[in-house]
Amino acid sequence: MTQTIFMVGARGAGKTTVGSALAQTLGYQFVDTDLFMQQTTQMSVAEMVAQEGWLGFRRRETMTLQAVTQSSTIVATGGGAILAEENRRFMRQQGTVIYLRAPASVLAKRLEEYPEEGQRPTLTGRPIAEEMLEVLAAREALYQEAAHHIIDASANLQQVIEEILAVLPRETVK
């Protein structure tokens, strides 16, 4: 049986891009928890947060994470999914957790190039470069605690995929 592979990391780390490419390579299903929540609620992340607050959004995120977890699936989590200890524990027990790690400057540049405003509400209201520094400082230890493997996400897509394939258990990579 093949386990779930979870992608964790900050906004802009490439969880969706890398996750979907890796799913194609492995012949796995791919689910992005933010997109899944948007499709099931017919609301953007920003609208969910506006309606339910961050607490309500995080509760919904936990339920979604558990609902989409199944074998032969790659799950791109929201950047804050690791904030709940329950989620970190769940992912570590249910599969392999890959932390896509990139410097704040790289994340900020990616987010500026592809803003997707409705999908990515600002967490601090500050300029994106400052926000990413702050978010990484607050979450780095949690990403590391959740992760089985830490991958340099500032490399190009092909390099990132190859690095992940190299660390996955043999039975995962057919």
What's the whole-number mean pLDDT along residues 145-161? Answer: 96
Res 1: pLDDT: 52
Q: How confident is the model at residue 172 (pLDDT cuts 50, 70, 90)?
A: confident
Fold of the CATH domain 4-165: Rossmann fold (3.40.50)
Domain ranges, ordered by start, for the chain:
4-165
| 22 within 8 A of 161, measured Cβ to Cβ | yes
pTM over 0.75: yes
User: So what's the pLDDT on residue 3?
Assistant: 85
- Residues contacting residue 158 through CB under 8 Å, at least 6 positions apart: none
Q: Name the average pLDDT for the chain.
A: 90
Query: Quick one: pLDDT at residue 129?
Result: 82
Residue 118 banded pLDDT, cuts 50, 70, 90: very low
- Name the band, by pLDDT with cuts 50, 70 and 90, for residue 2: confident
Band (pLDDT 50/70/90 cuts) for residue 127 is confident
- Give residue 63's pLDDT: 97
